[in-house]
Amino acid sequence: MAEHNDIVREVLSSEDKFFSFAPLYLEVGIGKGDFIVGMAQKFPGHYLGLEKEVSIAGMAARKVVESNLDNVIIRCGDFDFVYEEIKDVKFDGVYLNFSDPWPKKKHAKRRLTFAPRLEKFFALIKEGGFLKIKTDNDILYEFTKEELVKTKFKVVKIMDDYPVDEVNDVQSEYERNFRLLGQPIHRIECIKEGE
């Protein structure tokens, strides 16, 4: 990752030239990078990927380099920490794909879809922008639906068993594996309408 500071940022600033491009998207928890790389290849726009695990972020960075993409940057770090660096940036959309479900009830506040964290995503999204969530985890899915009610997001679509959509979406490695196991994929789509 150190060899590619054009792709991997140690720190972010809302003044970064990258954030002047549009459309601009954020994926939190990019894993090995299949989704963000696929989206950046398939759809116009610039993509910021966050990943808290350094070794995993390194795998994603390698895929970005090998794909010769100039519209993706990666920041290794926890969302709550990185939020302070990007809180003045406005994104057209945010993706949460197969986030850590933190299955124990006592860890619910650690989930990316905990209402106060969802409000941070709301603040990062432009008017009319979206939040799209995919998970295989039933507990996280039900929790997320309950938490979204506490936020300003308008939920526009809830799918208990989201079908493969090769035209408008990209599958991550996790998603492909879960589908091979016959595990239903849940999806929630929200938009930001007004403050």
Catalytically active residues are 100
The CB density around residue 177, as the number of other CB atoms within 10 Å, is 13
Element (H, E) at 35: helix 34-42
Question: Which has the closest alpha carbon to 52: 71, 80, 72?
Answer: 80
**Which is nearest to 32 in space by CA: 148, 176, 143?**
176
Give bridge partners of residue 97 from the DSSP assignment.
Answer: 134
Residue 149 burial (CB count, 10 A): 9
Q: What six digits make up the tokens of 36?
A: 């963000």
